Amino acid sequence: MERAYEGLKMFDPYEIRKDFPILERKIRGKPLVYLDNAATTQKPRSVINALRNFYERTNANVHRAVHTLSYESSQLYEESHKKVAKFIGAKSWQEIVFTRNATEAINLVAYGWGLHKLKKGDEILITIMEHHSNFVPWQMLRDLKGVNLRVLDIDDNGKLRLDKLPELLSERTKIVGVVHVSNVLGVKNPVNLIVEEARKVGALVLVDASQSVPHMSISVSELGCDFLVASGHKMLGPTGVGFLYGRRKLLEEMEPFNYGGDMIETVTIEKSTWNELPWKFEAGTPNISGGIGLGAAVDYLDGVGLDGIKNYEGLLVDYALEKLKDLSGIELYGQKDGERLGVFTFNLKGIHPHDVAWILDEEGIEVRSGHHCAQPLMRRLRIENAVRASFYLYNTKEEIDKLINALIKVQKLFGN
């Protein structure tokens, strides 16, 4: 039964769609139905214009000169840090470090904190549903430092085995890495509870919020985490820019990840000292236009309203669940009800996921097929690949209907 959602009177996905020029495109002569939002989202005109305006009017390096263009670009770039800080409820904009993406942000913590703080016998705890970006850096530390990497499993409904958490945590646990929302299962994990348990043994917590920040209001203060990472391109921003939030005390104690220009305070033949936060971690010429574009994406999301986005997507989730469950010969992974986001991963019996995705593309429907950068989770689900359809604020019920009809067409083509 469809749940009732408040606060949707002002939310009009059909008006929102007008802000995204790519949605006017046709694929193989058919209207584009973009359902690969968990991989990357489309960009509104305001973000595209922010990038163009920077290069047409303000292009200059930041923090390098006193001339007008450098001053203006530095102001815009720093203002974007402030926008992101406010967006996620950070206490200070200096707790926001711009990176290339969430992957680099996690590597920054692994190298800047883990490489210098961890010792043999220490433990890192992650979950089986982590994206490779929150798996591989910790494996690197395991191999370099001789630390132990422990993994929290899921149950058959795709939920974390929180009952196993106390036995996996100990005084040897130094950091817990957990995804806020799974990019495969769409399940939202209880970060507050995990933080609470981690605190009991003195462990830090890093949250991968790549799939949650674009879809719901996030407050790092309320979550209680020590680090939080996200990618700009998954939240309507440009590619090549993301961010790390870190508690100020931790960032001040950490070593730089990259070394070179702009991250220094002084350089002599004998030694160098580091710049203030966040520039200590932003060596060299940064992705200035990307950072400004990320700020424009935050402005757009603030303008639409995260609560409205979350509630509208809730309606899409309910609608899609009912339609998918009625489809015969489908294996849908993860919980079938309860709180989840618009990420649906599935297989059609007897049909390879790549074949499904290829035929859907013939209908103008863009989905993802493969292991979704989550091979440990795939093995836990006893599969190698799957199809994934993921929704965002500009998707509609009509597009879900097109997806269902196209899946039925796929089954007929394969004689199912």
* Segment 249-259, tens digit of pLDDT: 999 999 999 99
Query: Cα separations (Å) of 78 from 213, 291, 292?
Result: 20, 9, 9
CA 151 to chain centre: 20
**Residue 340 pLDDT:** 84
Provide φ and ψ at 254, rounded to 5°.
-75, 155
**Residue 124 pLDDT:** 98
H or E stretch covering 330? strand 330-332
| Residue at 414: amino acid letter | F
DSSP state of 350: T
* Bridge partners of residue 208, in order along the sequence: 179, 229
Cβ partners under 8 Å of residue 18, min gap 6: none
Give the whole-angstrom CA distance, residue 113 versus residue 39. 28
Give the whole-angstrom CA distance, residue 78 versus residue 64. 14
Considering the candidates 195, 373, 378, 386, report the single residue annotated as catalytic: 373
Cβ partners under 8 Å of residue 228, min gap 6: 88, 206, 207, 209, 218, 220, 244, 245
* Segment 65-110, tens digit of pLDDT: 899 999 999 999 999 999 999 999 999 999 999 999 999 999 999 9
Give the whole-angstrom CA distance, residue 44 versus residue 22. 9
**Residue 7 pLDDT:** 45
H or E stretch covering 257? none
Tell me if the pTM is above 0.85.
yes
Helical spans, DSSP H, in 88-190: 102-109, 115-117, 136-145, 165-168
Render each residue's pLDDT in the chain as its tens digit; 416 residues: 334 344 455 789 999 999 999 999 999 999 999 999 999 999 999 999 999 999 999 999 999 889 999 999 999 999 999 999 999 999 999 999 999 999 999 999 999 999 999 999 999 999 999 999 999 999 999 999 999 999 999 999 899 999 999 999 999 999 999 999 999 999 999 999 999 999 999 999 999 999 999 999 999 999 999 999 999 999 999 999 999 999 999 999 999 999 999 999 999 999 999 999 999 999 999 999 999 999 999 999 999 999 999 999 999 999 999 999 889 999 999 877 767 899 999 999 999 999 999 999 999 999 999 999 999 999 999 999 999 999 999 999 999 999 999 999 999 999 87
Does residue 189 contact residue 177 with C-beta atoms inside 8 Å?
A: no
Give the whole-angstrom CA distance, residue 193 versus residue 90. 20
**Residue 338 pLDDT:** 67
373 is catalytic: yes
Helical spans, DSSP H, in 226-352: 248-253, 288-304, 306-325
